[in-house]
Structure 1
Amino acid sequence: MNEIQKRLIAEVADLHDVPMGAYNFRANGKLAGRNTTANIDIQTKTEGSGIDIRIKDNTRNESVHIPVVLSDSGYKEVVYNDFYIGENCDVVIVAGCGIDNCGNQDSQHDGIHRFYVGKNSKVKYVEKHFGSGTGTGKRILNPGTEVYLQDNSVMEMEMVQIKGVDNTNRQTTAKLNKGAKLVVRERLLTHGNQQAVSGYTVTLDGEGSTADIVSRSVAKEKSYQKFEVKLTGNNRCSGHTECDSIIMDEGKILAIPSLEANNIDAALIHEAAIGKIAGEQLIKLMTLGLTEHEAEEHIINGFLK
């Protein structure tokens, strides 16, 4: 990989060197590096574009890194990655995509990830998106995520996009069996004329299943955000969603919650708050010597941590 691609890898996967464990690096549609372990196998799909990742039963304290980078202006791709996680596992999966576009053509990556999580397994999934480049072409990222949780399994998802992506449409669906748990923490920043759509459709089928989905976002300048979430409880279960947003300048934010209870013991809650930065917060920081811009950035950075 060239220096631009290495920088993108560092941004989306926090990697400054070859990681320990299993990994698959993809650059401009081509394999740029791969490693498997005794417990984690990665294979290129025989049909279509993408990879299959298979994690054996009882695999614990291991990780998989699968970052994607695009540095050729005008390059567009759709990739399908399937994860088959065995039973009694505890693993970390780090994905993400970085686009550096210095040309006048749009660059786009659509990554579809499907997770089949076995009984009693725990997966931490980190997905970061980043855009850079001085060109007029757009940087477009459309991630799709499907999660299927078997009995007593846990999926923790950290979804981050805080710089440089012009358009994104993130759609996530999840189905939870008995005792399964889904936790999502989304952080999003848009500016300029950027547009970002986040959609979550979660079905709580199993008895004792739980879901907790929290989105924190900031819309600056003329950017637009849409957050749409639907929780369906089909059994004794609990679900919570929260949208907490800061709106600035001429930004626009739309939050659309939907709760559907099909069982008398389904407990579903939604919370939403959209507002500007409080004036007293700015004044307090400015009395400490910060400019108004520095105070705003300080508040935003703390809010999105």
Structure 2
Amino acid sequence: MDLNNIQSYLLKEIADIDGNNLTGAYNIRSDSMSIGRQSTENIEIVSKTGVSGMDIFIKPNTVGESVHIPVVMTKSGLKEEVYNDFYIGDNADVEIVAGCGIDNCGNHDSQHDGIHRFYVGKNAKIKYVEKHFGSGEGSGKRILNPVTEVYMEEGSTCEMEMVQIKGVDDTERKTVAELKDGAKLIIRERLMTHNVQRALSDYVVSLNGDGANADVVSRGVARDDSYQRLDLKIIGNAACKGHTECDSIIMDNGNILAVPALEANNVDASLVHEAAIGKIAGDQIIKLMTLGLTEAEAEEQIINGFLR
């Protein structure tokens, strides 16, 4: 692939990869076009027909492999909707790295709506990493609206890392998960907004099988005049366990709304929610300032540790 400096910079930020030295299965998308693709013996990437997107097939018993499908956008005013479906075979154990980076130096909004659906086979394990990032000095917005659907078979495990910590002006994230017997879902969301940015996160997790287990934790920092809303619902339809946690730091004139919901439809469903919103404790700042940091540097250290 012949990447320019902006494409290389965005790929490094969202997927920690060098686009010129990729190995394994991958598809690199830039400005609504695939600019590089590679399948492997166990992971096949196929373009969809009728809509923009891909089908990714991972063979049963595939272990230790990865697939990268990052998206970058460098043209102001570009808007796209992409559908990617993942079919993970029984007993597979793989890592999937996605994410989107938008560099907007123009006056028109740029927007990427990515719809990802995961069909996780019996006893399969996946780690899914999705990072969102925005850059550019233009007045046009950088808009990302991801939709994630996860359908988990018996005994499967899915660990998801959702990260957005810089430059995205507006986002609406929707995540839906359905778990069968013994399936386990772990979600870690990290989010920071600043200026007048807006971020909405909506999670609905249905524990439909005995022994299903979900642990969903969201950490956010709202700075300046930004706004965050978290709707987090776990539904227990069997003898299952569910835990959700919302932990947020509010700064300046930020606004945070957390809307937790637990629904138990089985006497053996055990569901727990924890939530906390507050400012940075003054004694934490003072302690770091005694070590030689300025107040601003102390705040940044605390925030970086909180979102790690």
Shorter-chain TM-score: which interval?
Answer: over 0.9
TM-superposed deviation, 1:20: 1.8
**Partner residue in 2 for 1:5:** 7
**Partner residue in 1 for 2:295:** 292
Say which of 142, 145, 162 aligns to 1:142.
Answer: 145
1:136-285 mapped onto 2 (5 Å cutoff) = 136-285=139-288
Does residue 303 (structure 1) correspond to residue 294 (structure 2)? The answer is: no
TM-superposed deviation, 1:2: 1.5
SS at match of 1:162: strand
Letter in 2 for 1:67: P
SS at match of 2:167: coil
1:13-28 mapped onto 2 (5 Å cutoff) = 13-16=15-18, 17-28=20-31
TM-superposed deviation, 1:6: 1.1
* Alignment partners' CA distance in 1, 2:212 and 2:233: 15
* Alignment partners' CA distance in 2, 1:251 and 1:138: 19
Give a deviation string over 1:77-103, Cα, whole Å, max 9, x none.
000000000000000000000000000
* Alignment partners' CA distance in 1, 2:269 and 2:82: 36
Letter in 2 for 1:165: V
Give a deviation string over 1:234-289, Cα, whole Å, max 9, x none.
00000000000000000000000110000000000000000000000000001111
Say which of 33, 36, 60 aligns to 1:33.
Answer: 36
TM-superposed deviation, 1:46: 1.4
TM-superposed deviation, 1:140: 0.1
TM-superposed deviation, 1:18: 2.7
* Alignment partners' CA distance in 1, 2:115 and 2:4: 26
* Alignment partners' CA distance in 2, 1:298 and 1:239: 32
TM-superposed deviation, 1:19: 2.2
Give a deviation string over 1:108-160, Cα, whole Å, max 9, x none.
00000000000000000000000000000000000000000000000000000
* Alignment partners' CA distance in 2, 1:24 and 1:119: 26
> Identity of aligned pairs, percent?
67
* Alignment partners' CA distance in 2, 1:287 and 1:6: 40
1:113-152 mapped onto 2 (5 Å cutoff) = 113-152=116-155
* Alignment partners' CA distance in 1, 2:7 and 2:78: 14
* Alignment partners' CA distance in 2, 1:198 and 1:154: 22
* Alignment partners' CA distance in 2, 1:108 and 1:257: 28
SS at match of 2:166: coil
TM-score normalised to the size of structure 1?
0.99
* Alignment partners' CA distance in 2, 1:55 and 1:250: 46
Aligned length: 305
Letter in 2 for 1:142: N
* Alignment partners' CA distance in 2, 1:103 and 1:233: 47
SS at match of 1:303: helix
Say which of 90, 100, 104 aligns to 1:101.
Answer: 104
* Alignment partners' CA distance in 2, 1:50 and 1:90: 23
* Alignment partners' CA distance in 2, 1:62 and 1:288: 44
* Alignment partners' CA distance in 2, 1:47 and 1:136: 33
Say which of 54, 69, 73 aligns to 2:72.
Answer: 69
**Partner residue in 1 for 2:49:** 46
Letter in 1 for 2:9: R
TM-score normalised to the size of structure 2?
0.98
TM-superposed deviation, 1:3: 1.2
Letter in 2 for 1:109: H
Q: Name the Cα RMSD after superposition.
A: 0.5
* Alignment partners' CA distance in 1, 2:273 and 2:118: 26
Q: 5+ unaligned residues in a row in structure 1: which ranges?
A: none
Letter in 2 for 1:26: R
* Alignment partners' CA distance in 1, 2:21 and 2:267: 51
**Partner residue in 2 for 1:85:** 88
